[in-house]
Copies of this chain bind each other. A is one copy, B any other.
Amino acid sequence: MIGASICTIGDEILIGQIVDTNSAGIATELEKNGIKVRKMLSFADDKDEIRKNLDAELNESDIVIVTGGLGPTKDDVTKKVLFELSRSTRYVENTAQAEVIHEILASRGLDTLDTNRAQALVPDNCEVIVNRLGTAPVMILHTERQGRKVSLYSLPGVPFEAMGAMDDVISDIRLHYHTEDIYHKTVMTYGIAESALSDMLEKWEGALPDDIHLAYLPDPLKGVALRLSVFGGERLIQEARCERELAGLRKILGDSIYSEEGERLETVVGKLLKKCGKTLSTAESCTGGMIASLITSVPGSSDYFLGSVVSYANSVKHGVLGVSDEILKRSGAVSEECVRAMAEGVRKLTGSDYSVATSGIAGPGGGSEDKPVGLVWVGVSSEKRTEAVKFNFRNDRLRNTQRFAASALDTLRKFIELEVNN
């Protein structure tokens, strides 16, 4: 199995100002493609440090992936190190990248400055993958260490540019190295905590064939993903073997499984709505627009999503959504009655087929013994019926809001599935 090191360059990481998410993203891609990440490291935007660390990693790993240390104000230190490592003699312009740079700046109404143009210059002994999402190209160095083939890939530091380049990087690795195929199957579950899930699955997990690996991947917006992995072998055979195990999993977890393709909740909800030609609206208090934001993050969501009323103030719950003053006085905004009225209100206001509503207490302040921080009511409504469910979480403001939003999407998903299947 070929081994990789992932290096991130940047003072902002070393001083703790930003959390390095590039490494995890890159590691996920490498791992999916049968490349083992041995080590991750972050070091300073300094030529000597970069040179020393890249040298050391090339001596130990087959593949070294570097992000950062490129860009108009960064003095392009990584590029200078690549120039030396590749024993280049001059910089040559990559015309395709130069064009992208010009286009990007022109689309922002900006002139191409010399500092911008310089980004298209690459050491002549490096290969290039054009970065269509930004101005700094991906540079590749294929070389040798102690008779061993090694490769260095230099990616931009901006996360979406770095991740955008990974498909091409993987293709290039596959071209130069023998990578083993891995077959993955990612089953998405919602509503069961990781530890409870592991108890429920203990027997099933224990009976899995030795070469089928199981990983639990929890995420507040996605629930717990269960990933089955098999290395090597014929894809069709491995697929069939995993399918056999999945049959048992489905029996245990039932409708807690929302996707067997690793999709997100908002994608699954969108597909369901598209399939049955129905529309959706949301009424959000504590989630403050996060549910609408998640739903509209899916391209094509305008086909089924009509809109949302974020009714943060009670005056908006009453004035726009039509929640009665009585309900607000009697039960308060965080109550079953209120989310039912909110869900019905937004459905009628927008004329949508389905709606989902939330009202809860994200914290840090605002909780009471009766209604503690982390409590949320979720309401779902269609022409036929309206339902409300209560959830309790115990996290910080952001985490609570994310769990509220995901619970609302999952409640909606089950509600629609039930109506569609009946």
- Which residues of A approach B to under 8 Å, CB–CB? 11-21, 23-31, 36-44, 49, 53, 71-73, 103-104, 107-110, 113, 115-116, 133, 158, 160, 164, 193-199, 215-218, 227, 279, 281-282, 284, 287-293, 295-297, 299-302, 305-313, 315-316, 319-320, 349-351, 363-366, 372, 374, 392-399, 401
Report which of B17, B31, B40, B216 forms a contact with A42, defined as CB distance below 8 A. B40
Report which of B116, B198, B299 forms a contact with A195, defined as CB distance below 8 A. B116
Question: Do A16 and B20 touch (CB < 8 A)?
Answer: no
> What's the Cα separation between A41 and B8 when bound, in Å?
10
**Chain B residues with Cβ under 8 A from A24's Cβ?**
13, 16-20
Question: Do A198 and B312 touch (CB < 8 A)?
Answer: no
Q: How far is the CB of A63 from chain B (nearest CB, A)?
A: 14
Nearest chain-B residue to A363 (Cβ)? B299
Question: Do B312 and A310 touch (CB < 8 A)?
Answer: no
Quick one: copies of this chain in the complex?
Answer: 2
Q: How far is the CB of A14 from chain B (nearest CB, A)?
A: 4
Q: How far is the CB of A35 from chain B (nearest CB, A)?
A: 11
Report which of B11, B27, B351, B395 forms a contact with A215, defined as CB distance below 8 A. B11
> What's the Cα separation between A394 and B216 when bound, in Å?
36
> What's the Cα separation between A177 and B242 when bound, in Å?
52
Q: How far is the CB of A283 from chain B (nearest CB, A)?
A: 10
> What's the Cα separation between A394 and B103 when bound, in Å?
9
**Chain B residues with Cβ under 8 A from A284's Cβ?**
289, 292
Question: Do B288 and A296 touch (CB < 8 A)?
Answer: yes
Given contacts A16-B25, A160-B398, contact A315 B311 (CB under 8 A): no
Interchain residue pairs with CB less than 8 A apart (15)? A13-B40, A14-B27, A14-B31, A14-B37, A73-B194, A73-B198, A110-B196, A284-B292, A288-B295, A289-B290, A289-B291, A307-B309, A307-B313, A308-B309, A310-B310
Q: Which of A195, A297, A365, A372 has the most CB of B within 10 A?
A: A195
**Chain B residues with Cβ under 8 A from A401's Cβ?**
296-297
> What's the Cα separation between A104 and B302 when bound, in Å?
39
**Chain B residues with Cβ under 8 A from A31's Cβ?**
14-16
Q: How far is the CB of A366 from chain B (nearest CB, A)?
A: 8
Using A14-B31, A107-B393, A288-B295 as known contacts, list a sample of 19 further A-B pairs with CB atoms less than 8 Å apart, ordered by residue number in A: A13-B40, A15-B37, A16-B25, A16-B28, A17-B215, A20-B24, A39-B53, A40-B43, A73-B195, A73-B216, A115-B199, A160-B395, A281-B316, A299-B365, A306-B312, A306-B315, A307-B313, A309-B310, A313-B350
Q: How far is the CB of A335 from chain B (nearest CB, A)?
A: 17
Report which of B14, B25, B164, B319 forms a contact with A40, defined as CB distance below 8 A. B14
**Chain B residues with Cβ under 8 A from A196's Cβ?**
110, 113
Question: Do B38 and A41 touch (CB < 8 A)?
Answer: no
**Chain B residues with Cβ under 8 A from A315's Cβ?**
306, 350-351
Question: Do B316 and A312 touch (CB < 8 A)?
Answer: no
Q: How far is the CB of A21 from chain B (nearest CB, A)?
A: 5
Q: How far is the CB of A282 from chain B (nearest CB, A)?
A: 8
Question: Do B309 and A320 touch (CB < 8 A)?
Answer: yes
> What's the Cα separation between A397 and B164 when bound, in Å?
13
